Amino acid sequence: MKGVVLAGGTGSRLFPLTKVTNKHLLPVGMAPMIWHPLWKLQEAGIEEILIVTGTEHMGDVVALMGSGKDFGCRFTYKVQDEAGGIAQALGLAENFAGGSPICVILGDNIFQDSLKPEAEAFEKQGQGARILLKPVEDPQRYGVAEVRDGKVLGIEEKPKQPKSNLSVTGIYFYDATVFDIIRTVRPSGRGEMEITDVNNAYIAKGQLSFGTFQGWWTDAGTFPSLAHANELAIREATPFPQANGRS
């Protein structure tokens, strides 16, 4: 299994902090934000990792991360030329994946649980997709999953009247057919290729499973959630990869 960290976007909700830097380079606890998902991939035994980011701050991201040698990983980089959505960014990973299953993490996801059990569950599944859910108090901010009898019936993107409180976190497992699905996705009303459409395509094929986070989880894409992520990371003394490759 290979890993993909999506670290693009304009970071507009965190302006002016993001005026001169990528939001994924902002501090969360004792580490840059992007180190947290990278450490989770590394902890799960995933060593080949693609980092996708935008044109403006690619140099800063590469300067921070390097080749991956210091983290015990091998990094590849891709540039997303425009903010065209998560599915568009993921489409850039096709050659990198090379037919292998992938674990995809949005770079502003900060969470407690290990991904290793979820990766093992997906490997046993053998095909399709697997998503991770978390009950939240403000599901309107997220993609929301409707679950019944252990199955996801559908996912709605930022619904005004959510059918549940189960947020679709920004962690996904996909087989190689994800890239065929992405080619069928059309931009939404927001002008972006939505990852929700990709997940719903797997639901339509009966090939999407889910797990639920037991520990804490937050994104860090707004000022309140960034502050909360810092609070959690500092309180829990979240481990992170050191620049010398040691934990």
Query: What would the pLDDT profile of 4-13 be if each residue is shown by its tens digit?
Result: 999 987 768 8
247: pLDDT strictly greater than 50? no
Q: If you average pLDDT over each of 1-15, 166-180, 227-241, which comes out highest? A: 166-180
Q: Taking all residues of the chain, what is their mean pLDDT, rounded to a whole number?
A: 91
Radius of gyration of the chain (CA): 17
Looking at residue 246, its pLDDT comes to 40
Q: What are the pLDDT digits (tens) for 81-132?
A: 877 889 999 999 999 999 999 999 999 999 999 999 999 999 999 899 999 9
Q: Are 172 and 110 in contact (CB under 8 A)?
A: no
Q: Are 37 and 46 in contact (CB under 8 A)?
A: no
Residue 244's pLDDT band, with cuts at 50, 70 and 90, is very low
Looking at residue 18, its pLDDT comes to 83
Q: What are the pLDDT digits (tens) for 134-161?
A: 999 989 988 999 999 999 999 998 899 9
